[in-house]
């Protein structure tokens, strides 16, 4: 296969290039003798990185301190956050900052593993008591804003997660079905 000139220019020695979806991935490669064959067989190893017109972008090994690592949901949360402004505009009896806190708290109620649980939020019983907001009415109002007839349709979004430790946030690789679902709900921007 013929590659663009920049691929040949940036390919390190001892590697092989594979084109997948218009991305040029670089893998370690060696050859080894196999008894009974007249020629050596190529053995492809681990991925090194990818080549772009500007150079080789090496894959970095990321070390996560598992004692502080958390897997948190973000698909469902990001979808609900698209409706935050609308929620705040429909409930203008309280300051916007309080309404945002309340809305985030309802998201954590609906998705207890949401990444928003790591930010300040209120217990829904506390919201009901302090602000006289009915939990059922508020959740029903959120579903209505989303024009969601069947909440079960959004459940798969709760399995789209990120990995977070004290230093970084990593979004995990998604399956084709998850990408399709995120595109359907306007959450895919890559």
Render pLDDT for 79-101 as a digit per residue (tens, 0 to 9).
999 999 999 998 878 999 999 99
Report pLDDT for 87. Answer: 93
Please state, rounded to an integer, the average pLDDT across all residues of the chain.
Answer: 88
Cα gap 31→169, rounded to integer Å: 38
pLDDT at 146 over 90: no
User: At 189, is the pLDDT very low, low, confident or very high (cuts 50, 70, 90)?
Assistant: low
Average the pLDDT over 100-124 and give the result: 94
* 97 CB burial (10 A radius; 0-12, 13-18, 19+): exposed
The pTM of this model reads 0.65
Report pLDDT for 112. Answer: 95
pLDDT at 15 over 90: yes
28, 172, 181 from 175: Cα distances, Å:
25, 10, 10
DSSP output for 148-185: -S-GGGGGGGGG-EEEE-SS-EEEPP--HHHHHHHHHT
DSSP output for the chain: ----HHHHHHPPTTEEEEEETTEEEEEEEEEE--TT-SS-EEEEEEEEEEEETTEEEEPPPPP--TTT-EEEE-HHHHHHHTTHHHHHHH-TTS-HHHHHHHHHHHHHHH-TTBGGGGS----HHHHHHHH---HHHHHHHHHHHTT-S-GGGGGGGGG-EEEE-SS-EEEPP--HHHHHHHHHTT----
Render pLDDT for 21-63 as a digit per residue (tens, 0 to 9).
888 999 999 989 888 888 888 888 888 989 999 898 888 766 7
Q: Residues, the chain, total?
A: 190
- Percentage of residues in the chain having pLDDT higher than 70: 97
pLDDT at 128 over 60: yes
* 13 CB burial (10 A radius; 0-12, 13-18, 19+): exposed
């Amino acid at each position: 296969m013929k590659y663009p000139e920049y691929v040949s220019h940036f390919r390190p020695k001892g590697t092989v290039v594979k084109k997948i979806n218009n991305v040029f991935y670089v893998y370690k490669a060696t050859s080894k003798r196999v008894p009974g064959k007249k020629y050596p067989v190529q053995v492809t190893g681990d991925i090194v990185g990818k080549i772009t017109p500007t150079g080789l972008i090496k894959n970095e090994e990321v070390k996560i301190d598992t004692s502080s690592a958390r897997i948190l949901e973000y698909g469902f949360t990001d979808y609900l956050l698209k409706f935050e402004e609308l929620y705040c505009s429909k409930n203008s009896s309280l300051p916007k900052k309080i309404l945002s806190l309340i809305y985030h708290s309802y998201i954590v109620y609906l998705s207890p593993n949401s990444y928003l649980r790591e930010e300040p939020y209120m217990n829904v019983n506390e919201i009901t008591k302090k602000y006289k907001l009915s939990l059922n009415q508020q959740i029903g109002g959120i579903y209505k804003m989303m024009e969601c007839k069947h909440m079960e349709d959004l459940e798969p979004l709760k399995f789209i997660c990120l990995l977070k430790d004290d230093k970084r946030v990593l979004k995990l690789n998604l399956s084709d079905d998850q990408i399709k679902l995120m595109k359907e709900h306007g959450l895919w921007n890559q």
